[in-house]
């Protein structure tokens, strides 16, 4: 059996390790998708609803602050809804229209809707014409950007961060050394009760890692396999980039260990 070809934007992605083996076993039932497209956004939303990492720490940091919040790469709202629950006005910026549609549907009819502004834009290139007391970028989403895009992000943050404001930025640090690679598979349970497998793979020295998420095979005629290829951004590299951009890390907030091969850290950044 042969697997379906990758869509054009996934052609350069090569699955290796446990992810490749799991997908090979699915044969021609594979339905390739990106984590942020029409198919993948549903899986992202289902698994993200069960992921409480960062939420407690972020809310503790944001709640006592005054002024509006800008959330970058908001996705389907895993952090947006808790941020709204603090009473802040929130602007949720997200590039994927599929994710924004899900967030809009979730918030519609709730008491928070009037305090939420949805913006479809690129976090590396946007202009909102206003500043915010707090900017948030969670889920290590900075690793979705290549170096030139990260420079664009830093410039956008500087334009939109108000005087004395803070940017809360999360980063997943590998538990091993930078010389270690990774071939990890672990199970996830979605809010719908669907079981998934998450595969992560990277080789030492490579600039990108591969993430693959798919439902556990229950004999469906098609099995969506969602892939993403984020960049490997070390803490040392991030510090150097922030420094060059005129931004500084003023505090580091540890995030509760969720297990796996990485440890999340929340950085507080100011101008």
Is 36 found in the same domain as 84?
Answer: no
Is 132 found in the same domain as 208?
Answer: no
Predicted TM-score (pTM) of the model is: 0.90
pLDDT band at 173 (very low <50, low <70, confident <90, very high): confident
Residue 2 has pLDDT above 80, yes or no: no
For 4-59, the pLDDT digits (tens) are 344 434 434 568 889 989 989 999 999 999 888 888 889 988 998 877 879 999 99
Intra-chain end-to-end CA distance of the chain, in Å: 55
**Other beta carbons less than 10 A from residue 183's beta carbon:** 17
Residue 91 has pLDDT above 70, yes or no: yes
**Contact yes or no for 43/117 (Cβ under 8 A):** no
Residue 212 has pLDDT above 50, yes or no: yes
Q: Is 41 exposed, middle or buried (0-12, 13-18, 19+ CB in 10 A)?
A: buried
**Contact yes or no for 223/210 (Cβ under 8 A):** no
Which of 102-116, 117-131, 177-191 shows the highest mean pLDDT? 117-131
Q: Can you give the residue range of the structural domain that contains 200?
A: 8-47+177-228
Evaluate whether residue 194 is within a structural domain. yes
Task: Report pLDDT for 179.
Answer: 63
Averaged over 214-222, what is the pLDDT? 90
**Contact yes or no for 209/201 (Cβ under 8 A):** yes
Is 103 found in the same domain as 193?
Answer: no
């Amino acid at each position: 059996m042969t697997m379906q070809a990758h869509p054009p934007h996934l052609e350069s992605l090569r699955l290796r390790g446990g992810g490749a083996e799991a997908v090979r076993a699915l044969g021609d039932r594979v339905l390739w998708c990106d984590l942020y497209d029409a198919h993948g956004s549903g899986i992202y939303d289902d698994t993200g609803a069960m992921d409480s990492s960062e939420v407690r720490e972020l809310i503790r940091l944001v709640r006592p602050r005054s002024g509006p919040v800008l959330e970058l790469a908001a996705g389907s709202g895993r952090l947006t809804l808790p941020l709204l629950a603090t009473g802040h006005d929130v602007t949720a910026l997200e590039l994927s229209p599929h994710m924004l549609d899900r967030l809009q549907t979730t918030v519609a009819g709730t008491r928070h809707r009037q305090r939420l502004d949805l913006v479809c834009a690129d976090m590396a290139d946007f202009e909102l014409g206003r500043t915010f007391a707090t900017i948030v970028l969670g889920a290590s989403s900075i690793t979705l950007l290549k170096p030139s895009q990260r420079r664009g992000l830093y410039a956008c943050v500087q334009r939109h961060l108000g005087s004395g404001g803070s940017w809360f930025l999360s980063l997943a640090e590998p538990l091993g050394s930078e010389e270690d690679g990774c071939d990890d598979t672990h199970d996830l349970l979605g809010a719908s009760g669907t079981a998934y497998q998450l595969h992560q793979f990277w080789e030492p020295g490579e600039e990108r890692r591969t993430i693959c998420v798919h439902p556990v095979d229950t004999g469906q005629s098609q099995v969506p396999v969602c892939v993403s290829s984020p960049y490997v951004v070390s803490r040392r590299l991030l510090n150097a980039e922030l420094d060059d951009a005129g931004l500084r890390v003023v505090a580091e907030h540890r995030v509760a260990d969720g297990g796996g091969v990485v440890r999340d850290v929340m950085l507080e950044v100011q101008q």
